[in-house]
Amino acid sequence: MAAVVLALGATAAVAQTTMPPQSSAPTAPSNVPRPPVAGQIVAQDPDTVLAKELIGLTVYAPDKAKIGAISDLILSKDGKTVDGFVIGVGGFLGIGEKSVAMKLDRLQIRHDPQTGGVQLTMDAKKEELANTPTFKSKRDQEAEKQAERARSQSPGQGMPNRP
């Protein structure tokens, strides 16, 4: 009787450890390259620049004077074109700096043979841009509208309340 119980227990253990049957459909190894999907860019074209190469890069005037650094790019609503760039101008060590947005065609992008990267110049002077209006993003504009609504809805608008 003990032998029968051991035999049944061993059969159950073997049944639990057997491998499931293999699928008849072959699977491609994970290291085999697949064709690109429609619209995919597989390699960067030598005549293109990545946004991360521009953001943070210093823009210089024609006389080699530093104007400021690019802080952002402005894309069209459909995302198909870059309309402009935002540059930080003025201030010292980031304090007192203001953002100025310019159309992208004002920026000249050239290959820098010394660094292998790009060199940015524009036909403007730092003083000219420092005296222009500050760029207001959609977020900045909405914050101003909300602040204005809050001021117009507050009772007394800063006047002391009298009984």
Q: What is the rounded average pLDDT of the residues 72-79?
A: 93
Instruction: Determine the Cα–Cα distance for residues 103 and 85; give it in Å rounded to an integer.
Output: 7
Contacts of 102 (CB under 8 A, 6+ apart): 84, 85, 87, 122, 124
Q: What percentage of the chain has pLDDT greater than the value 70? A: 75
One-character DSSP codes across the chain = -HHHHHHHHHHHHHHHHSPPPPPSS----TTSPPPPPTT---S--TT---HHHHTT-EEE-TTS-EEEEEEEEEE-TTSS-EEEEEEEESSBTTBT-EEEEEEGGGEEEEE-TTTSSEEEEES--HHHHHTSPPP--HHHHHHHHHHHHHHHHSGGGGPPP--
Could you count the other beta carbons within 10 Å of the beta carbon of residue 112? Answer: 11
pLDDT of residue 153: 86
Q: What is the rounded average pLDDT of the residues 22-28?
A: 57
Q: What is the rounded average pLDDT of the residues 34-59?
A: 89
Instruction: Determine the Cα–Cα distance for residues 78 and 80; give it in Å rounded to an integer.
Output: 6
pLDDT of residue 114: 86
State pTM to two decimals: 0.67
| Structure-model confidence comparison of residues 117 and 28, the more confident one | 117
Domain parsing of the chain, residue ranges: 51-149
Q: What is the rounded average pLDDT of the residues 123-129?
A: 91
pLDDT of residue 3: 36
Q: What is the rounded average pLDDT of the residues 139-157?
A: 85
pLDDT of residue 75: 94
pLDDT of residue 15: 44
Q: What is the CATH number of domain 51-149?
A: 2.30.30.240
| Mean pLDDT computed over every residue of the chain | 80
Q: What is the rounded average pLDDT of the residues 92-120?
A: 87
pLDDT of residue 14: 43
